[in-house]
Structure 1
Amino acid sequence: MSSRRRAYPQPQYAVEASAPAAVPPAVGGNQYQQPGSGLGVPPPNSLDPTTSQFQNLNISGTNTAVNSPYSNQGGQFGQYQQPTSPQASQFGHSQYQQPQQPQQAPGVGVGGGNGYYNQSNNLGTSLPLNQLYTTDLSRELPPPITDLSLPPPPIVLPPNTTLIPNSETSNASPDYFRSTLNVIPNSSSLLKKSKLPLALVVKPYNALTVEAENVAVTSDTTISRCRRCRGYINPFITLAENGRRWRCNFCNLLNDIPSAFEYDEISGQVKNKFDRVELNNAVVEFIAPKEYMARTPQPIVYTFIIDVSVNADQSGLIGTITRTILESLDRIPNTNKTAKVAFIGVDSSLHYFRFNEGFEGVESLIVSDIEEPFLPSPDGLLVNLDENRVAIEKFLLDFPTYFEGTGNQGFALGPALKAAHKLISNIGGKLVCFSSTLPSVGEGKLSIRDESGVAGKPKEAKALLSSADSFYKSFAVQCNSSQVTVDLFLTSSAYQDVATLSNLPRYTAGQTHFYPAWTSAKYEDVTKLSKEVSDHLSQDIAMEAVLRVRGSTGFRMSSFYGNFFNRSSDLCSFPTFPRDQSYCIEISIEENVTKPVVYFQAAVLHSTSFGERRIRVLNLALPTSSKLVDIYASADQLAITNFYTHKAIERALSTSLPEAREFLTSKVVEILSLYKKELVAGNVSGASPLQLSTNLRMLPLLLFSLTKHLGFRAERVPSDHRAAALNNLGSIPIKQLVKSIYPTVYALHNMPDECGLPERLIQVNEETGEEEEVVSTNILLPEPVNDSKSTWENYGLYLIDDSSELFLWVSGNVVPGLVQDLFGTDNLYAIPTGKTELPEFSIEESEFNYRVRQIIGKIRDQNDSIVWKNLYVVVGGSSNEPIEVSQQRDLMALRMWAYSCLVEDKSGSEPSYRDFLTSLKSKVAQ
């Protein structure tokens, strides 16, 4: 593969005194490396294992790693390497070091269950768990952010905990089901003492489509459940009476094994029950029999409510949306050819469109009385997509012309929602609303709130983030009971009251998508909206779904967080179940735990888009302990961050934003204080107050960064933006959540030469037995750097990913040759800035441009999210910056937006992470 490489003359500038010493570039190194200025890489972790307080606070045992599917066996992540001693661990990365487990538990037999159940209640000595190591946060600056990409601490279970020995698929992957604590306290008093939360994070689906997932499905409709607790049979049950009965791992009740487990009535063949997928897999789908159906699975229904007022016409929303829907018709899940669609245009009137079956013509019906709007005869309004395809396509092509040049400024969203609900309430489905106007007519009419008097003050949340009209929540609850989901796509350049409107998706399991100042005149705006709407319509949604989470005896699911409606104390209702959201469930311990392992199970009963009733079941087994050291050594810092994010949102909306920020800080103080008091070795007087278990060392950084997030930050933020940010934080999965809180920054100017190119793997040819190189489809990304300007070079090129946007920061003293290769010009100030795209050069024309675009494409390629990340090019300042006065405001605003992603730095009145740690010292020492 040929490529063009060039040598780049370097600009002259003064090197700061604190810059690292010059390091000669390696052969074949990056051509954009600035000579004489160091490598631009943050210094290694300053933690010295020979002097830091690495303490084995757990039980004794050999330092051999347990083979866990969730730990990094290859060792490329230093955190999971298992050294022979703490002193052999570099930079404190051995906190998940585990002693050797015994080969066989006493008393284990096919019919006898797990021998550990017969041991004493001294749980801390029955099972060797993860060992605890201590880190001093003040000595780890900059913080080691590679931890943010690591899996949670391994789950260590006794041997033969599963029915099928050595099964690697019996416990759920953390991508689906994870706990804040991978060792469960054996009492509520111990949990309270630990100052750590106990909660589950559930994400039942990990891809937008069925084809992209590899979930085991049962071969028949035989479902075995416990007669008492109604838990589903799973890999952690035990057999009794020579395999004729199974003992429930949740409530200990004996249940009969169904005859179908060992005999196929259709084929007449004997079956091995141990081959059944539900006994081998933690995540499985049961095909439900008719007993699980309140009615026959319904078809997918989409009712499109489209703003056709003057704002929508002038912004180009009408044309963009109808064209996007037209181009997405083939992507709508419609395997059985039963999908139905309807369209309602909304200004100050309601515009219905009736399709005459067998004809291409469409009849328009206008209802002007929106105080008591009537629904015309539903015949022809809600139609089969496949049978009316020609007419629908013609209608979507013509739709923008119906309202071209309109002067109608009204928007009767409330009446339109009620009419659409009447249209599909007997079936259920989705109401997909596209709006560029504040609802101003009829029920649900809203007005602009006065932000100037309360913004930045304690009463801001009450005044601006609470619902302004009870209609939207009460209507959403009504929709939920009718199996109707509402999704919003909001595109106004003016106020839209996102705080009020977001109640519609929140209680119907939908989502609020916010596109401030959207316009079809901007290609990038059209691309983002079109891609996200198209991917939204193509999801294999589950319909008429309910979620229930069960636990072992003594555990209660006490609080639920996410977009759904609690139909009863523990049943979450989803008219349609989205595939790109996650949910958090807080757990209370109501009885002392006497067993070494406890179990949790999440079940989603739903109808598929292809007409089957199914139950997706997820299983999680976790060890228990009576020791704080075990609990801290296995705490999951990312899941804990997820939980505290939900609690902070709840606190902000019920009290105030300052109290929410104080809540996050107080949780860090509580955890550090407890750790210093109970777990620092010997409780040495004068020991650093900032010591914490190494597997939790990113938690203070994440909670600190969360206080700077758009949803919580102290400075003035438009209420629509803040409400949208809080709504997003409360529904996105952990992977996107962490990136939203602590953006990922890549240094592109000095990335290794293989980055941006397909990964090359060595594999053995099965026929010849020889090794050969294989080029994969995976694009290699650079290693992230810290979110701090102090780690940046003033000639660097940096890509920032905050989970919703991408910023390409071009420093003011960047090498001209780099600008030429990337943008096609050597004039830094001639490149397009703001929301834009990079020019496309072939790899022969510019390898660097090709590699950067590949990296951006890799980051944008998400099979579990519909979000399309816009790219903003930001040019940093320099001493001779030729910027006109008229450009200063926009340029500075763009720079400040990008700078806000550097959450480790001081910003406005908000401290830096270093200052935050300093303030913690005095609070923890008290």
Structure 2
Amino acid sequence: MSSRRRAYPQPQYAAAPPVADPSQYQQSPYGAPAVPAVGGAAAGVPAPVAPTYGVDQLNQGFQNMNVGQPSTASPYQQPYNAYPQQVPQQPAAPQQPYDPYQQAQAGLAASGATPYAPQYSAGGAVGGIPSPGTSAYGQPPLNQLYTTDLLRELPPPISDLSLPPPPIILPPNAAVVPTSEDSNANPEYFRSTLNVIPNNHSLLKKTKLPLALVVRPYGDLHIDSENIPVASDTLIARCRRCRGYINPFITLTEQGRRWRCNFCNLQNDIPSGFEYDAMHNPKNKFERPELNHAVVEFIAPKEYMARAPQPVVFTFIIDVSADAVSSGLTSTITRTILESLDRIPNDKKTTKVAFIGVDSNLHFFRFNEGLDGIESLIVSDIDEPFLPSPEGLLVNLDENRPAIEKLLIDFPTFFEGTANVNFALGPALKAGHKMISSIGGKLICFAATLPNLGEGKLSIRDESQSGKQKESQVLLNAADKFYKSFAVDCNSVQVTVDLFLTATKYQDVATLSNLPRFTAGQTHYYPAWTCAKAEDVTKLSREVSEHLSMDIALEAVLRCRGSTGLRMSSFYGNFFNRSSDLCSFPSFPRDQSYTIEVSIEETLTKPVVYFQAAVLHSTCFGERRIRVMNMAIPTSSKIDDIYASADQLAIANFFTHRAVEKALSSSIPDARELLVKSVTDVLNVFKKELISGNVSGSSPLQISTNLRMLPLLLFSLTKHLGLRNEKVPSDHRAAALNNLASLPIPHLIKYIYPAVYSLHNMPDECGLPEQIVQVNEETGEEETISTTEILLPEPINNSKESWENYGLYLIDNSSELFLWVSGDVVPELVQDLFGANSLYEIPTGKTELPEFSIEESEFNYKVRQIIGKIREQRDSITWKNLYVVYGGSSNEPIDISQQRDLMALRLWALSCLVEDKSHTEIGYREFLSQLKSRVAV
């Protein structure tokens, strides 16, 4: 079949002015303005000398910063002469990405050395070349401080949001194995808000920056997809005093017979097993994974087990009331569980399952031998719920597979046509707790109805308080103490509660979310869900299936320790604090992260401090393991060192947790004020302490370049659904606050500041497998290799000011995708993408694109590939629904009812453009102007 790629009319723009050759500029570390290489100054500012210490390559994938501007003219750009009233804009010269590694790489290449860029430089040399300025004590220079004027740098350079944190610069030979490239933790697992630690509490307080750790022990939903080294000989060396695990930053003493703890400085004996294997053959202890890798797992001996590892247990509590049956929840869930049985972790064939149907009664199912051995048992006493049988309710999945499959097939028919509108969730939870309390496991609840019967009964609350001062007390706090106290009881017996809520009416998410919050679970909310919409069914089914297939860790505890003088003071996330520094997880999810605030209680006298997080857990395949993460960070008494190494994404994560905490304990306005005050304090400190000379009040806002996205992120957070200053349905707000408090940083940043892609003018290679050019070592010729990675367009700023009225834009807010079709889009694009002859024939709202082959429509194929790539998430169960949004025009032939629905959808999509004004919120430019007035003169 012939290709449908067309030769569309090209826009007739005037020739752009010549773009300066990037090679004529040198780029300074962490965002210094590009200055001419010859002359050494721009705008009267001397060009700072970039350090040459080795660090990771930051801007991979961001070399072409001509965002939204293709290498060749797009076939979908509206011809200029068709709209003579429009004034074409000259394409801007491409902004150079800031790259702190450019100089180091260039210097190495010039010297003939092989460029080498570890994630963190554990020393002052790269490729054998010492860093200039290394002190007599071997401490290399830390990150340099560069200044940005926020008001002059608009629109903000959002490519910064995809960069790793400032590099951690350690002294030479900081690690016991200097050649190890993996001695300091990857920020995907373990990162700090400050990559230079103040050496005393007063200095930390003076900076107004938080000191906190972000811990994410698992980076993938499945164990096999992670590449974490495992010490499999059950030999675990720990400090006798502080109980810290041996790690890459200990010091060997007495000819390697003993090791000095890097946390408390105590000397410990090296275990004999470090020198010999099980057959008593000598081996090199420096090859052990715990001395080479920052993130490592130990297989634990029996001493680390209070009891043998328990089997995986799933108890499914399924709403069978009239609302659940009529909406299709009951049938959808049972079919999804049936189709996911092979995905449930069951390597040892020990996984157990149970099923409870809930309306005004509790419906248990007892399994006997054979397919006909399924017996339904009904308990109507919900005041004192009991188990109707001592056995046969919780059964082995593998041994009872045929009977379980039959139950799941027949399950919806048991409740067809029910008129029972009650839902006794509290009694069902207590019954499930009794069933599995001796083993532990998961209670997974699927509900489409507000719990309205028995213990934990809830009622509809006064939504008129939404958006008012008392909203938090009236709508966002738990309405019944049962849910928190029951969650604490569950945690004590290793039971996790997960919720999947699909009500079309009020469901009190704020109260119910306490169950997962204190049991290390998660609340999944699907407002107005119905099985009549195929996209709703797809989203719920995919997310439930991914949730069931996740390789969970069982009976887990997390402890984080630091060097002498540091204390873990506050903890944020879904878990329960069993003691002052021990976090309890009945099951450890793989799609959440946790934040721990650190206090400095003593003056830090050493040049480097250390942190270690350890998770003791049982795997779903029956092993007791300990995952240990280590991080070393230099200290300094200089405030400029601290600001130059601050991690803006981790800081935004910390302030998000603080804002959520404030919203729930005080009010939404107080949470918003906390965010604005935090930005103001940082700007005041920077102006007072780090800007030399007297600066007049009219000077633009100054901030260190590595923090230039922090004001944008915290401003965007004030416009988020969870903290928005307007009337918001309380269930939606509570669900949003729950997500803000549990999402890992990569997903959280996109949740706060959505990614926007311009599709109508994307480069030709976008939407196709990425092509990598490499040199053949034998022939010396270049070869092009096609990868499986789909190339995405560069994100553009979240502002409609940069949009074309004939454009096509994709918005990704981490939970939904919006495909915005502008009102004046060219007909050829509509035909190629949707197969429609008119803009008004395309389906809007929650839908999917028609599927054309690449021969039929290359553009349709590319856009679907891009959407598919964005939906692929190895570390999250979220499936993102696609909403097609018609941007509208002045002469659209649409009736009033359709206009109402379209207008609501447009407002929802436009709320993702957080840099713009809305009817209740200011834009980012106005926000900066307000900040300017708040910064002390």
Give the TM-score normalised by structure 1.
0.91
Q: Which residue of 2 aligns with 1:707?
A: 718
Equivalent pair of 2:193/2:650 in contact (CA under 8 Å): yes
* 399-408 vs 371-380, greater mean Cα deviation: 371-380
1:357 is aligned to 2:401: no
1:464 is aligned to 2:475: yes
| 1:535-684 alignment, distance < 5 Å | 535-684=546-695
Please state whether the residue corresponding to 2:901 is helix, strand or coil.
helix
Displacement after TM superposition at 1:476 (Å): 0.1
Structure 2: distance between partners of 1:104 and 1:246: 28
- Which amino acid counterpart does residue 7 of structure 1 have in structure 2? A
Please state whether the residue corresponding to 2:693 is helix, strand or coil.
helix
Displacement after TM superposition at 1:22 (Å): 6.5
Structure 2: distance between partners of 1:255 and 1:656: 51
Structure 2: distance between partners of 1:567 and 1:559: 13
- Which amino acid counterpart does residue 97 of structure 2 have in structure 1? G
Instruction: Summarize deviations over 1:579-620 as a string: whole Å, max 9, x none.
Output: 000000000000001011100000000000000000000000
Displacement after TM superposition at 1:376 (Å): 1.7
Equivalent pair of 1:64/1:100 in contact (CA under 8 Å): no
1:346 is aligned to 2:358: yes
Instruction: Summarize deviations over 1:671-717 as a string: whole Å, max 9, x none.
Output: 00110111012243446251000000000000000000000000110
- Which amino acid counterpart does residue 129 of structure 1 have in structure 2? L
Give the 3 Å change call, closer, same or farther, for CA 71–171 of structure 1 in structure 2.
Answer: farther
Equivalent pair of 2:184/2:294 in contact (CA under 8 Å): yes
Displacement after TM superposition at 1:773 (Å): 1.7
| 1:32-43 alignment, distance < 5 Å | none
Please state whether the residue corresponding to 1:448 is helix, strand or coil.
coil
Displacement after TM superposition at 1:10 (Å): 8.0
Out of 305, 315, 318, the position equivalent to 1:293 is 305
* 674-683 vs 787-796, greater mean Cα deviation: 674-683
Q: Which residue of 1 aligns with 2:829?
A: 818
- Which amino acid counterpart does residue 181 of structure 1 have in structure 2? L
Displacement after TM superposition at 1:768 (Å): 5.3
Q: Which residue of 2 aligns with 1:173?
A: 186
Structure 2: distance between partners of 1:588 and 1:97: 24
Instruction: Summarize deviations over 1:728-751 as a string: whole Å, max 9, x none.
Output: 000000000000000000000000
Q: Give the gaps of 5 or more residues in structure 2.
A: 20-30, 36-40, 64-95, 108-118, 129-133
- Which amino acid counterpart does residue 78 of structure 1 have in structure 2? P
Equivalent pair of 1:55/1:133 in contact (CA under 8 Å): no
Q: Which residue of 2 aligns with 1:30?
A: none
1:434 is aligned to 2:434: no
Out of 186, 203, 225, the position equivalent to 2:216 is 203
Displacement after TM superposition at 1:654 (Å): 0.9
Give the 3 Å change call, closer, same or farther, for CA 73–436 of structure 1 in structure 2.
Answer: closer
1:101 is aligned to 2:124: yes
- Which amino acid counterpart does residue 217 of structure 1 have in structure 2? V
Q: Which residue of 2 aligns with 1:41?
A: none
- Which amino acid counterpart does residue 50 of structure 2 have in structure 1? N
Equivalent pair of 1:98/1:131 in contact (CA under 8 Å): no
Matched residues, number: 871
Q: Which residue of 2 aligns with 1:112?
A: none
Q: Which residue of 2 aligns with 1:854?
A: 865
Give the 3 Å change call, closer, same or farther, for CA 67–259 of structure 1 in structure 2.
Answer: same
Overall identity of the aligned pairs, in %: 73
Structure 1: distance between partners of 2:669 and 2:807: 36
- Which amino acid counterpart does residue 326 of structure 2 have in structure 1? Q
Give the 3 Å change call, closer, same or farther, for CA 242–497 of structure 1 in structure 2.
Answer: same
Structure 1: distance between partners of 2:839 and 2:789: 32
- Which amino acid counterpart does residue 427 of structure 1 have in structure 2? I
Instruction: Summarize deviations over 1:609-637 as a string: whole Å, max 9, x none.
Output: 00000000000000110001000000000
Give the 3 Å change call, closer, same or farther, for CA 146–777 of structure 1 in structure 2.
Answer: same
- Which amino acid counterpart does residue 4 of structure 2 have in structure 1? R
Please state whether the residue corresponding to 1:175 is helix, strand or coil.
coil
Displacement after TM superposition at 1:877 (Å): 1.4
1:231 is aligned to 2:218: no
1:725 is aligned to 2:752: no
Please state whether the residue corresponding to 1:146 is helix, strand or coil.
helix
1:409 is aligned to 2:421: yes
- Which amino acid counterpart does residue 52 of structure 2 have in structure 1? A
Out of 162, 169, 175, the position equivalent to 1:156 is 169
RMSD: 2.5
Equivalent pair of 1:134/1:691 in contact (CA under 8 Å): yes
| 1:382-393 alignment, distance < 5 Å | 382-393=394-405
Q: Which residue of 2 aligns with 1:66?
A: 53
Out of 144, 147, 154, the position equivalent to 1:141 is 154
Q: Which residue of 1 aligns with 2:67?
A: none
Out of 820, 827, 842, the position equivalent to 1:831 is 842
Give the 3 Å change call, closer, same or farther, for CA 103–207 of structure 1 in structure 2.
Answer: closer
| 1:312-351 alignment, distance < 5 Å | 312-351=324-363
Q: Which residue of 1 aligns with 2:99?
A: 80
| 1:10-25 alignment, distance < 5 Å | none
Instruction: Summarize deviations over 1:800-851 as a string: whole Å, max 9, x none.
Output: 0000000000000001100100000131011000000000000000000000
Q: Which residue of 2 aligns with 1:191?
A: 204
Displacement after TM superposition at 1:766 (Å): 5.8
- Which amino acid counterpart does residue 525 of structure 1 have in structure 2? D
Displacement after TM superposition at 1:409 (Å): 0.3
Give the 3 Å change call, closer, same or farther, for CA 46–289 of structure 1 in structure 2.
Answer: closer
Please state whether the residue corresponding to 1:80 is helix, strand or coil.
coil
Structure 1: distance between partners of 2:476 and 2:533: 30
Q: Which residue of 2 aligns with 1:245?
A: 258
Structure 2: distance between partners of 1:880 and 1:779: 38
Q: Which residue of 1 aligns with 2:5?
A: 5
Q: Give the gaps of 5 or more residues in structure 1.
A: 27-44, 89-95, 106-114, 120-124
Displacement after TM superposition at 1:767 (Å): 6.0
Structure 2: distance between partners of 1:173 and 1:774: 28
Equivalent pair of 1:843/1:849 in contact (CA under 8 Å): yes
Displacement after TM superposition at 1:264 (Å): 1.2
Please state whether the residue corresponding to 1:469 is helix, strand or coil.
coil
| 1:769-918 alignment, distance < 5 Å | 770-918=781-929
Structure 2: distance between partners of 1:401 and 1:645: 45
Structure 1: distance between partners of 2:201 and 2:903: 52
Displacement after TM superposition at 1:75 (Å): 8.4
* 396-405 vs 72-81, greater mean Cα deviation: 72-81
Structure 1: distance between partners of 2:630 and 2:2: 51
Out of 492, 509, 530, the position equivalent to 1:519 is 530
- Which amino acid counterpart does residue 412 of structure 1 have in structure 2? A
Displacement after TM superposition at 1:373 (Å): 1.3
Please state whether the residue corresponding to 1:904 is helix, strand or coil.
coil
Instruction: Summarize deviations over 1:45-73 as a string: whole Å, max 9, x none.
Output: 9967555686789xxxx634322246458
Give the 3 Å change call, closer, same or farther, for CA 830–290 of structure 1 in structure 2.
Answer: same
* 1-10 vs 629-638, greater mean Cα deviation: 1-10
Equivalent pair of 1:127/1:158 in contact (CA under 8 Å): yes
Please state whether the residue corresponding to 1:228 is helix, strand or coil.
coil
Displacement after TM superposition at 1:762 (Å): 2.1
Structure 1: distance between partners of 2:775 and 2:256: 42
Equivalent pair of 1:8/1:816 in contact (CA under 8 Å): no
Equivalent pair of 1:745/1:786 in contact (CA under 8 Å): yes
- Which amino acid counterpart does residue 892 of structure 1 have in structure 2? M
Equivalent pair of 2:193/2:210 in contact (CA under 8 Å): yes
1:275 is aligned to 2:298: no
Instruction: Summarize deviations over 1:719-778 as a string: whole Å, max 9, x none.
Output: 000000000000000000000000000000000000000001123446655432211000
Please state whether the residue corresponding to 2:789 is helix, strand or coil.
strand
Structure 1: distance between partners of 2:524 and 2:878: 9
Give the TM-score normalised by structure 2.
0.90
- Which amino acid counterpart does residue 369 of structure 1 have in structure 2? D
Equivalent pair of 1:53/1:135 in contact (CA under 8 Å): no
Give the 3 Å change call, closer, same or farther, for CA 235–360 of structure 1 in structure 2.
Answer: farther
* 583-592 vs 769-778, greater mean Cα deviation: 769-778
- Which amino acid counterpart does residue 101 of structure 1 have in structure 2? G
Instruction: Summarize deviations over 1:256-298 as a string: whole Å, max 9, x none.
Output: 0000111113x23211100100000000000000000000000
